[in-house]
Amino acid sequence: MLLRDIAHARAGDKGDISNISVIAYDIDDYSMLEKHLTAERVKAHFAGVVHGEVVRYTLPHLGALNFVMQQALGGGVTRSLALDAHGKSLSGGILGIDISDWS
């Protein structure tokens, strides 16, 4: 099972910072997200892409987690040679995290 089976994501960016929100489809799944989807796990998932700090913010009333990732866009929109310089595909990338071992 993948994260996309229980949540959706939205992304934003500013300079070399990507901001991803992961929102549970069902509020009952939020506690599982909060327990297992740590900043460390997200940073490990994006190894080689995110070179700076990853900070997680919790939004329990929304059933969401927000991750702010520094040095994530190859220098930012105007400096990166990446096809997706705005980092929008990172929201799709985070949903590929395998959650089969969560319980």
DSSP string, 33-97: HHHH--HHHHHHHTTTT--S-EEEEEEGGGTEEEEEESS-STT-TTT---TTTT-THHHHHHTT-
Check pLDDT > 70 for residue 51: yes
Given a cut of 70, whether residue 55 has pLDDT beyond it is yes
Grade residue 73 by pLDDT with cuts at 50, 70 and 90. Answer: confident
Does 60 map to a domain?
yes
How many domains, in total, are found in the chain?
1
Dihedral sign, CA of 82, 3, 44, 51?
Answer: positive
Q: Range of 49's domain?
A: 3-94
pLDDT in the model for residue 29? 96
CATH number, position 45? 3.30.70
Q: Has residue 101 been placed in a domain?
A: no
Question: CA 54, CA 28: separation in Å to the nearest integer?
Answer: 25
Torsion of CA 7, 8, 12, 16, to 10 degrees: 60
Q: Judge whether 37 and 97 are in contact, CB under 8 Å.
A: yes
